[in-house]
Amino acid sequence: MLMTESASLVVMKFGGTSVGDVSRVKRVAEIVGEYRESNPGVGVVVVLSAMAGETNRLVALAKECVERPNPRELDVLLATGEQVTVALLAMRLNEMGIPSKSLLAPQVRIATDSRHTNAQIEEIECATLLEALREGGVPVVAGFQGIAGSGDITTLGRGGSDITAVALAAALKAETCFIYTDVAGVFSTDPRVCGEAKLLERVSHEEMLEMASLGAKVLHTRSVYFAMRYAVPLIVLSTFAGPFEPGRNGTWIVNEEELMEKPVVTGVTLRLDEAQITIEAMPSSIATMAALFDGLSERDVYIDMISQESVGGDAVNVSLTVPDEQSVTALETIRALVPSLRANGVTVERDIAKVSVVGIGMRYHTGVAARVFRCLARENIDVQMVNTSEIKLSVLVARKYCDAAVRALHAEFIPEGATVSAKG
Amino acid sequence: MLMTESASLVVMKFGGTSVGDVSRVKRVAEIVGEYRESNPGVGVVVVLSAMAGETNRLVALAKECVERPNPRELDVLLATGEQVTVALLAMRLNEMGIPSKSLLAPQVRIATDSRHTNAQIEEIECATLLEALREGGVPVVAGFQGIAGSGDITTLGRGGSDITAVALAAALKAETCFIYTDVAGVFSTDPRVCGEAKLLERVSHEEMLEMASLGAKVLHTRSVYFAMRYAVPLIVLSTFAGPFEPGRNGTWIVNEEELMEKPVVTGVTLRLDEAQITIEAMPSSIATMAALFDGLSERDVYIDMISQESVGGDAVNVSLTVPDEQSVTALETIRALVPSLRANGVTVERDIAKVSVVGIGMRYHTGVAARVFRCLARENIDVQMVNTSEIKLSVLVARKYCDAAVRALHAEFIPEGATVSAKG
pLDDT digits (tens, 9 = 90+) for B24-57: 999 999 999 999 999 999 999 999 999 999 999 9
Indicate left, alpha or beta for A94 from its phi (over 0: left) and psi (-120 to 50: alpha). Answer: alpha
Task: Calculate ∠ Cα A419-A381-A214, nearest 5°.
Answer: 50
Confidence of residue A216 (pLDDT cuts 50, 70, 90): low
Cα end-to-end span (Å), chain A: 36
Mean pLDDT taken over chain B: 91
Span A168-182, pLDDT tens digits: 999 999 999 999 999
pLDDT tens across B163-212, in order? 999 999 999 999 999 999 999 999 999 888 999 999 999 999 999 988 88
CB contact, 8 Å: B97 with chain A?
Answer: no
What is the chain A residue with the closest CA to B151?
A107
Please say if the pLDDT value at position A162 is more than 90. yes
Query: Percent helix, strand, coil in chain A (nearest 5)?
Result: 40, 25, 35
pLDDT at A422: 36
Q: Is the pLDDT of residue B421 over 60?
A: no
Find the helix packing angle between B221-229 and B160-171, rounded to 10°. Answer: 10
pLDDT tens-digit readout, B286-309: 888 899 999 999 999 999 999 888
Portion of chain B with pLDDT greater than 70, in percent: 96
Residue A173 DSSP SS3: coil
Q: Beta-carbon neighbour count of residue B13 at 10 Å?
A: 28
A93-97, A293-297, A415-419, B265-269, range with greatest mean pLDDT: A93-97
**Average pLDDT over every residue of B282-287:** 88
Average pLDDT over residues A355-369: 89
Of A71-80, A302-311, A336-345, B358-367, where does the model show the most confidence?
Answer: A71-80
Q: Say if A354 is an interface residue toward chain B (CB within 8 Å).
A: no
CA dihedral for A10, A11, A15, A18, sign (positive or negative) = positive
Residue of B55, B58, B72, B77 to mutate when probing chain A, most A C-beta within 10 A: B77
Task: Determine contact: B94 vs chain A, CB below 8 A.
Answer: yes
- Is 50 exceeded by the pLDDT of residue B423? no
Write down the pLDDT at residue A416: 65
H or E segment and range at residue B370: helix B368-378
Residue B7 has a pLDDT of 67
**What is the nearest CA distance from B91 to chain A, expressed in angstroms?**
5
Instruction: Give the model's pLDDT for residue B29.
Output: 98
* Three-class SS state of A69: coil
| B407: nearest Cα among B379, B384, B383 | B379
Q: How far apart are CA A81 and CA A48, in angstroms?
A: 10
- What is residue B2's predicted lDDT score, i.e. its pLDDT? 42
Please say if the pLDDT value at position A420 is more than 60.
Answer: no
**Taking the CA of residue B12 as centre, how many other CA atoms within 13 Å lie in the half-sphere pointing to its CB?**
28
Instruction: Give percent of chain A with pLDDT exceeding 90.
Output: 79
Dihedral, CA atoms, A278, A282, A287, A291, nearest 10 degrees?
Answer: -40
B360 φ, ψ (degrees, to nearest 5): -65, -25
Band of residue B419 on the pLDDT scale cut at 50, 70, 90: very low
Measured between beta carbons, which residues in chain A are less than 8 angstroms from residue B62?
87-88, 91
Q: What is the pLDDT of residue A3?
A: 44
Assess whether pLDDT exceeds 70 at residue A7.
no
pLDDT at A213: 72
Query: pLDDT tens digit string along B128-150?
Result: 999 999 999 999 999 999 999 99
DSSP letters spanning A124-159: E--HHHHHHHHTT-EEEEESSEEE-TTS-EEE--TT
Q: Which of residues 21-40 of B touch A (CB under 8 A)?
A: 22, 25-26
Which is more confidently placed, A264 or A129? Answer: A129
Q: CA angle B366-B368-B372, nearest 5°?
A: 160
| A77 in reach of chain B (CB within 8 A) | yes
Is A95 in CB contact (< 8 Å) with chain B? yes
Q: CA A231 → CA A111, A120, A223, A226, A389, distances in Å?
A: 21, 19, 12, 8, 22
User: What distance in Å separates residue B97's CA from the closest CA in chain A?
Assistant: 12
* Mean pLDDT in residue range A47-71: 96
Computed over every residue of chain A, the mean pLDDT equals 91
Q: What one-character-per-residue DSSP string does B201-242 give?
A: SEEEHHHHHHHHHTT-TTS-HHHHHHHHHTT--EEEEETTS-
A168-172 long-range contacts, CB within 8 A, separation 24+: A168/A11, A168/A45, A168/A47, A168/A124, A168/A129, A168/A141, A169/A10, A169/A11, A169/A227, A169/A230, A169/A232, A170/A226, A170/A227, A170/A230, A170/A232, A171/A124, A171/A126, A172/A9, A172/A11, A172/A45, A172/A126, A172/A129, A172/A130
Query: Is the Cβ–Cβ distance between A186 and A208 less than 8 Å?
Result: yes
Beta-carbon neighbour count of residue B274 at 10 Å? 23
| Cα B318 to chain centroid, rounded | 30
First vs last Cα of chain B: how many Å apart? 36
Per-residue pLDDT of A95-128, as tens digits, reads 999 999 999 999 999 999 999 999 999 999 999 9
Q: Side chain identity at A74, as an amino acid letter?
A: L
- Per CB-CB distance under 8 Å, the chain B contacts of A68 are 95
Which residues in chain A have Cβ-Cβ distances shorter than 8 Å to B145?
Answer: none
Domain residue extents for chain A: 9-182
Give the DSSP letter of residue A242: -
Query: pLDDT at residue B217 above 80?
Result: no
CA dihedral defined by B93, B99, B100, B101, rounded to 10 degrees? 130
- Over residues B220-229, the pLDDT tens digits come to 888 998 899 9
Rounded distance between C-alpha atoms, residue B407 and residue A172, angstroms? 70
Q: What is the pLDDT of residue B424?
A: 32
Angle between helices B22-38 and A54-65 (to 10 degrees): 40
Pairing assessment for the beta strands A43-48 and A121-124 based on DSSP bridges: unpaired
What superfamily does domain B9-182 belong to in CATH? Acetylglutamate kinase-like (3.40.1160.10)
- Which member of A26, A65, A94 has the closest CB to residue B92? A65
Phi, psi of A99 (to 5 degrees): -60, 135
Q: State the angle between helix axes of B22-38 and B71-95 in degrees (0 to 180), rounded to the nearest 10.
A: 60
Q: How far apart are CA B164 and CA B48, in angstroms?
A: 9
Helices (H), B20-117: 22-38, 54-65, 71-95, 105-108
Q: Is the pTM of this model over 0.90?
A: no
A286-298 and A327-341 helices, crossing angle to 10°:
150
What's the confidence (pLDDT) of residue A202?
Answer: 92
C-alpha–C-alpha distance, residues B169 and B275, integer Å: 37
Answer whether residue B257 shows pLDDT above 90: no
Q: CB–CB of B77/B62 below 8 Å?
A: yes
From residue B77, alpha-carbon distances to A47, A127, B15, B152 in Å are 16, 24, 19, 12
Mean pLDDT of the region A326-353: 94
Residue of A nearest to B60 (CA): A22
SS3 content of chain B, % helix, strand, coil (to 5): 40, 25, 35
B66 to chain A, any CB pair closer than 8 A? The answer is yes
Cα angle at A220 between A217 and A221, to 5 degrees?
115
Does residue B58 have a pLDDT over 80?
A: yes
Output the DSSP codes for B270-296.
EE--EEEEEEEEEE--HHHHHHHHHHH
Distances (CA, A) of A249 to A31, A199, A424, B414: 14, 8, 8, 76
Q: How big is the CA angle at B310 (ends B309 and B312), to the nearest 5 degrees?
A: 155
The confidence score (pLDDT) of residue A36 equals: 96
**Number of CB atoms found within 10 A of residue B5's CB:** 12
Q: Which residues contact A417 (CB under 8 A, 6 or more apart)?
A: none
Region A336-347: what's the mean pLDDT?
A: 93
Pairing status of strand A274-283 against strand A345-349? antiparallel
* Euclidean distance between CA atoms A200 and A186, whole angstroms: 6
B135-152 burial: b if 16+ Cβ within 10 Å, else e:
eebbbbbbbbbbbbeeeb
Query: In this structure, are residues B358 and B392 in contact, taking their beta carbons and an 8 Å threshold?
Result: yes
Q: What pLDDT does residue A215 have?
A: 66
| Chain B, nearest residue to A72 by Cα | B101
**A20 residue type, one letter:** G
Picking from A68-82, A92-106, A362-376, which range would have the lowest pLDDT averaged per residue? A362-376
Please judge whether A87 and B102 are an interchain contact, meaning their C-beta atoms are less than 8 angstroms apart. no
Percent of chain A with pLDDT over 70: 96
Nearest Cβ partner for B102 among A73, A86, A94? A73
Tell me which residue in B86, B90, B95 faces A67 most closely, judged by beta carbons: B95
Q: Mutation target for A interface from B70, B75, B116: give the one with most A CBs within 10 A.
A: B70
- Note the helical H segments in A199-323: 205-213, 221-229, 286-298
Q: Which residues contact residue B214 at a Cβ distance below 8 angstroms, ignoring those fewer than 6 apart? A: B269, B270, B271, B354, B356, B358, B392, B394
CB B22 to CB A91 under 8 A? no
CA-to-CA separations, A94 to A26, A97, A137, in angstroms, rounded: 12, 5, 9
pLDDT of the residue at B3: 44
Interface confidence (ipTM) of the complex: 0.84
Mean pLDDT for B335-342 is: 93
| Cβ(B93)–Cβ(B59) below 8 Å | no
